A and B are shown apart, each in its own frame.
Chain A
Amino acid sequence: AQKITQTQPGMFVQEKEAVTLDCTYDTSDQSYGLFWYKQPSSGEMIFLIYQGSYDEQNATEGRYSLNFQKARKSANLVISASQLGDSAMYFCAMSPNAGNMLTFGGGTRLMVKP
């Protein structure tokens, strides 16, 4: 069974600073995918970034990057130059090699201070 752990229920960051949201996972699969989703207060789920277990380089999408450390089973999300609009819930999720039944972590609420 897969498990995703997000140990930070809530975090504050100053506007324009960088922030790291932690995610650790547990799986016996050799091939898997890791995702981050953002959920603003309006409630929708927005895909941010994806990392494959065999990808040699860390994924980046604009201000988002994924710090992937396979041996430590961690997939932390780094947001550079935080903006007020980054205030939201963030979910880490994992997909198995076959099928797309994403398993989600409990989420981290990020609050950006002006």
Chain B
Amino acid sequence: DADVTQTPRNRITKTGKRIMLECSQTKGHDRMYWYRQDPGLGLRLIYYSFDVKDINKGEISDGYSVSRQAQAKFSLSLESAIPNQTALYFCATSEGTGRSNEKLFFGSGTQLSVL
């Protein structure tokens, strides 16, 4: 089983709909992140959480919200989806040492299309 699981893997929705992307992890990591990937732009940070009570905005948080329901669960919501939110979304985790060598562990991604 994957250590970082994202659901759904693919989602097509319509403009204006509310949608939630879910992420769960079995790695026991404190830190969790949501990134989106767009062609030519790489991955950009949407939100991150260093523990259950800590939520922080990333580079591109407008139009998104998150919830850290437990150490193992971090969900991303689009309150009213728009077409330019069509992207590949990644959840990631890290141990939480805070050192610069701490790598991220990624889920398999959720391809979201907003029509």
> Which residues of A are interface residues toward B (Cβ below 8 A)?
4, 6, 9, 31-33, 35, 43-45, 47, 50, 52-53, 91, 93, 95-107
Task: Point out the residue from A32, A50, A98, A107 that lies within 8 Å of B103, measured CB to CB.
Answer: A50
Chain A-chain B contacts (Cβ-Cβ < 8 Å), number: 64
Closest B residue to A54 by beta carbon equals B100
Given contacts A45-B92, A100-B102, 14 further A-B contacts (CB under 8 A): A9-B40, A31-B100, A32-B100, A33-B99, A33-B101, A43-B109, A45-B90, A47-B105, A96-B100, A100-B94, A100-B98, A102-B43, A104-B35, A107-B40
A44 near B108: Cβ-Cβ < 8 Å: yes
Complex Cα–Cα for A94 and B111 (A): 24
Interface of A is mostly: loop
Q: What residues of A have a CB within 8 angstroms of the CB of B48 in the complex?
A: 101
Q: What residues of A have a CB within 8 angstroms of the CB of B101 in the complex?
A: 33, 50, 52, 95
Complex Cα–Cα for A48 and B80 (A): 37
A53 near B106: Cβ-Cβ < 8 Å: no
Q: What residues of B have a CB within 8 angstroms of the CB of A97 in the complex?
A: 100
B109 near A44: Cβ-Cβ < 8 Å: yes
Task: Point out the residue from B58, B88, B106 that lies within 8 Å of A101, measured CB to CB.
Answer: B58
